[in-house]
Structure 1
Amino acid sequence: MQKGQDNCPMSKKPTILFTDDEGTFRNIMSKELDRMGYNVTCCASGQETIKNMQERDYDVAILDMNMPVMNGIETLKKVKTIEPTTEVIILTGQGSIENAVQAIKLGAYDYLTKPCQLKELDLLLQRALEKRKLSRENFHLKTLVHDVQKPSSMIGNSPAIKAVFKMIDKTAPSDVTVLIQGESGTGKELAAKMIHQYSKRADKPFVIVNCATLQESLLESELFGHVKGAFTGAAESRVGLFEIAEGGTLFLDEIGELTVNTQAKLLRVIQSGEIRRVGDNRVITVDARIIAATHKNLPLEVKEGRFREDLYFRLNVITLRLPSLRERKDDLTALIQHFLQKFCKGERTMDMHPEALHAMTLYDWPGNIRELENTIERAVVLADGNIISIEELPDNIRGRTYEHYGKNGEIALSEVEKNHIIQVLKEKNWHKPLAAKTLGISLKTLYNKMKMYNIDL
């Protein structure tokens, strides 16, 4: 085995594995590839090639077709089994073209006939390296998407959120396009993740595109990808988010923020299932389910000419409307407990003082669940003990309590708890097990408190 000279142990030179059973030719190619700037390892047989592949990663393997014991085809198959992203170039004699074509069908990047021109080989190596880079980038991005994806679920038992669960159960198994509508902070991204996780695409990528944060000049490149030199600053080729989401789900958040020009390009992709990278004429077929979300009134946007009607109809096959938090106050206690557990992180157990809890039930939560989450996180940080008092809540939430009871704050805390229990019992039609669950206490504790506060049993 011979290696090209490389004095730097952290070399960034492309790694080439060159295999040929002819010693003289192998030595010549080792020197030439090294001179061309590659970090080359030479092997005399297919068996030696496999041994090296099992020991380290190579960018490109150059294999002679006609070798004893293990020929180029057999070596190719094993190379691709060990590392699918290693590109393979086959060297073949004039009489072995048919075998070389078979090798391409089995995954080889291309072939050259011997004796080959060094310039031709160098050009082919550059193309193979570019393809290798794109393949690995795509692989790593998909791995990242899977790594950050956690099992998701929405919290609540109210009629409003139950209707959402029912719609998700119905729509998830199909590939139909879904448009999620709701105010900011209602959990549109979480609903999209649930649809993906309950679908047949669950083991494939879930890719999020926030249309509001991407500049229009870069959005096309982000969605469809680009080739090297496509525009100023495109120093290397890059796959787009549609390709990264292949086989999975592409979530287009805040789609109402797209310009009409970008809407037209997106419509063509949804209709045809095909994209072109920026600067490339090649058509690439993509398979990604589209879920879109917006807080805007899209029919009004269509009427006023800010959103394409044909795109709206394409997206609006199924509409999933998420209720605001003020429409599902029954879920407030359960959501509070969820966020308390999240931000305490097992270090301590915290609970809400009845006065603080009552203040939160009076508040309208214009920022919805996101505002509630931020409020709980703030309160956990500010609380000195294990009980979050009303003093740890923001002024705008505390103010509703003072308006309700008078600014002197003379109402007894026990009265606050009593009123809160009565309010929850009324909301649950005096169904005590449901009320106890909403309050976050046991049924026995609820009966004891009702007796203590002289609430009719």
Structure 2
Amino acid sequence: MSKKPIILLTDDENTFRNIMAKELTRMGYNVTCCTNGPETLKNMQERDFDVVILDMNMPMMNGIETLKKVKETEPTTEVIVLTGQGSIENAVQAIKLGAYDYLTKPCRLSELDVLLQKALEKRQLSRENAHLRRLVKGVREIPAMIGNSIAMNTVYKMIDKVAPSDSIVLIQGESGTGKELIAQTLHLRSTRANKPFVVINCATLQETLLESELFGHTKGAFTGATESRIGLFEAADGGTLFLDEIGELTVNTQAKLLRVVQSGEVRRVGDNKAITVDTRIIAATHKNLATEAKNGRFREDLYFRLNVITLSLPPLRERKEDIPLLIDHFLQNFCQNVPKKKILPEALTAMAQYSWPGNVRELENTMERLVVLAEGENISIEDLPEDIRGVSPSRNATERTEGTLSEVEKKHILKVLHEKQWNKTLAAEALGISLKTLYNKLKAYHIDL
């Protein structure tokens, strides 16, 4: 979605206009030309321009009148006025009316180029600080990702490869596995790190509101649209747009998103004008989009566009060796302003065996609750929620014998492994079996270390 700055050059002198257009194009600008004020306003209704270069002395509608209409139509579009030596007063008046700056004709191309660059920087800042600032995440430091399991090391390697590119990334994983965390990391390790990181959850808004949020709207486009508003794609211009739960989009919104992905242009609700954006898309879903597309619930063409690079996050139950590390991390976070607490081995064993259907988010919430509610400096098994405590090996002899022999054996192996700090050699010695036998049992019980 990379783009050249789009310039509208308005001047009624054919020779000057043609020379300027040719030189500006050579300098890397995308130039559209017109000869008078009405043509300028017509062009602005059909397309979004970054900067307008406007001659002050024109027939039909002079520069001052045209400038007023331009700023009314698109306040964030910057205007550079061109004036003759004897019309400096008009240029000063133009600046008071919102023009960025002025140059006298004939002007030097180097001077015009400097003004254009400054005007483009100001426009970009204006767009970033517009109405959707509340949705721009203030992410400045790469968030910590906890885990040294094989599954997580695979994720880290993918991030290393993918982050520097501008490719679309589709993150798949169950709720609570940290999809937004990965998206933030990809953004902050990209060349767009100093630009906006904008987030929207596609499952939280109705279709009409979602379209307005994504693409923006014009004044009067629908009931309650009392002013024009830029969309998320414009707010994230130059940066990254994170579309969480993209699988929840309606078919109608999917079609509009597909057009943006294909063309790099958005159209605000109630407007036919195309606005070029340079926005990297990172999407996430807990659904299997390939299956959704096959069953007709998600557009195949959009799925193929999004499925450039897929990054799959493992659920916590498939990386249980990371649970002690995560627990220690959350303990440090939640104990910063309260007395330090320690989790006892039996409680840690129970938590390591629990399936964590809510994944890392559930574990984080559980640790916060334990730090707040547990009395004393130790977190014991009695402090755990009942559903987590219920899967732990009980200290009651009768309860220890409940379940099948294989279930009891599996629990005992996990308990010994935890006591030996997951050292398999020491655990095998304590269990009275060979290391090879321990490996066979780990494989049979699907215990992945």
Q: Which residue of 2 aligns with 1:88?
A: 99
Identity, in percent, stands at 57
- Equivalent position to 2:165, from 174, 180, 188: 174
CA distance in 1 between counterparts of 2:422 and 2:379 reads: 24
- Count of residue correspondences: 336
Change (3 A) 1:217 1:210: same
Kept in 2: contact 1:211–1:258 (CA 8 A): yes
Kept in 1: contact 2:198–2:241 (CA 8 A): yes
How many angstroms does 1:174 deviate by?
A: 0.7
CA distance in 1 between counterparts of 2:222 and 2:113 reads: 32
How many angstroms does 1:405 deviate by?
A: 6.1
- The residue identity in structure 2 corresponding to 1:232 is T
Change (3 A) 1:146 1:75: farther
Residue correspondence of structure 1 range 102-251 to structure 2 within 5 A: 106=115, 136=126, 138-139=128-129, 141=132, 145=136, 147-251=138-242
Kept in 2: contact 1:134–1:239 (CA 8 A): no
How many angstroms does 1:422 deviate by?
A: 2.7
Q: Does 1:303 align with 2:294?
A: yes
Kept in 2: contact 1:353–1:390 (CA 8 A): yes
Q: Which residue of 1 aligns with 2:388?
A: 397
- The residue identity in structure 1 corresponding to 2:98 is E
Change (3 A) 1:307 1:401: same
- The residue identity in structure 2 corresponding to 1:87 is G
Q: Which residue of 2 aligns with 1:275?
A: 266
CA distance in 2 between counterparts of 1:282 and 1:323 reads: 42
TM-score w.r.t. the length of structure 1 is: 0.64
CA distance in 1 between counterparts of 2:267 and 2:177 reads: 35
Q: Which residue of 1 aligns with 2:254?
A: 263
Kept in 2: contact 1:181–1:293 (CA 8 A): yes
Kept in 2: contact 1:210–1:253 (CA 8 A): yes
How many angstroms does 1:265 deviate by?
A: 0.5
Q: Which residue of 1 aligns with 2:34?
A: none
- Segment drifting more, 281-290 vs 342-351: 342-351
- The residue identity in structure 1 corresponding to 2:252 is N
* Per-residue Cα deviation, 1:267-292 (whole angstroms, up to 9, x for no partner): 01000000111122221100111111
CA distance in 2 between counterparts of 1:61 and 1:269 reads: 27
**Structure 1 residue ranges (4+ consecutive) displaced by more than 2 angstroms after TM superposition:** 60-68, 70-76, 86-92, 96-99, 102-107, 132-138, 140-151, 345-348, 402-410, 416-432
CA distance in 1 between counterparts of 2:219 and 2:414 reads: 67
Q: Which residue of 2 aligns with 1:113?
A: none
- The residue identity in structure 1 corresponding to 2:270 is G
Change (3 A) 1:168 1:262: same
Kept in 2: contact 1:72–1:90 (CA 8 A): no
Q: Secondary structure at the match of 1:87?
A: coil
- Equivalent position to 1:385, from 357, 376, 379: 376
CA RMSD of aligned residues (A): 4.1
Q: Which residue of 2 aligns with 1:6?
A: none
* Per-residue Cα deviation, 1:50-98 (whole angstroms, up to 9, x for no partner): xxxxxxxxxx999997999x9787999xx89xxxxx9338899xxx887
Q: Which residue of 2 aligns with 1:29?
A: none
CA distance in 2 between counterparts of 1:63 and 1:176 reads: 39
Kept in 2: contact 1:164–1:321 (CA 8 A): yes
- The residue identity in structure 2 corresponding to 1:280 is D
Change (3 A) 1:319 1:89: closer
How many angstroms does 1:401 deviate by?
A: 1.4
Kept in 2: contact 1:65–1:71 (CA 8 A): no
CA distance in 2 between counterparts of 1:356 and 1:133 reads: 56
Change (3 A) 1:61 1:422: closer
Q: Secondary structure at the match of 1:400?
A: coil
How many angstroms does 1:138 deviate by?
A: 3.3
How many angstroms does 1:153 deviate by?
A: 2.5
- The residue identity in structure 1 corresponding to 2:204 is T
Q: Secondary structure at the match of 2:145?
A: coil
Change (3 A) 1:103 1:357: same
CA distance in 2 between counterparts of 1:388 and 1:423 reads: 17
Q: Which residue of 2 aligns with 1:422?
A: 417
Change (3 A) 1:428 1:192: farther
